[in-house]
Amino acid sequence: MAGNVREITESIVTPILSDLALELVDVEFKKEGKNWFLRVYIERENGSGVDLDDCAAVSERLSEELDKRDPVEQAYYLEVSSPGAERPLKNEKDVQRAVGKNIHVTTYAPIDGEKQFEGKLTEYDGDTLTIETRVKTRTKVVEIPYDKVAKARLAVVF
């Protein structure tokens, strides 16, 4: 059920975003407490952030289309927003855009005895992520095969 709602929402919102020079990051449909939430995360096509006007424009147009097609059986809240500073890196295009930025990666299996890495993504060649991490006072370079990545996201460094 939830998967179907996500797929339908994605197919509805993609042309709307294209018209506005925006891009879909993710769609979530989940129950929290007694309420259902349909969340649509968006950003600019160049990977930069969105503002309140962008979110409002998408929300208004998407709401109209969802009302016409009615893919959701129960009551829900529609939220359209930016994915935030620590946005998930969902696909290879997202990872490529993150080169030069700090990221956090969790792997399916240990690499050099570790399953979590955080540092600057210095390179992504389509198969391997190269990350510079700091261990106390020294810099360590870790190569992570893309097919071993369980989750990846941008990381804010203070």
SS (H, E, C) 17-32: HHHCCEEEEEEEEEEE
Report how far apart, in Å, the C-alpha atoms of 49 and of each of 36, 87, 120 are. 26, 11, 20
User: How does pLDDT run across 45-104, given as a tens digit for each residue?
Assistant: 776 788 999 999 999 999 999 999 888 888 999 999 998 888 889 888 889 989 999 999
Average pLDDT over residues 127-148: 92
Per-residue pLDDT for 3 more than 80? no
Per-residue pLDDT for 2 more than 70? no
What percentage of the chain reaches a pLDDT higher than 70?
97
Q: What is the pLDDT of residue 121?
A: 96
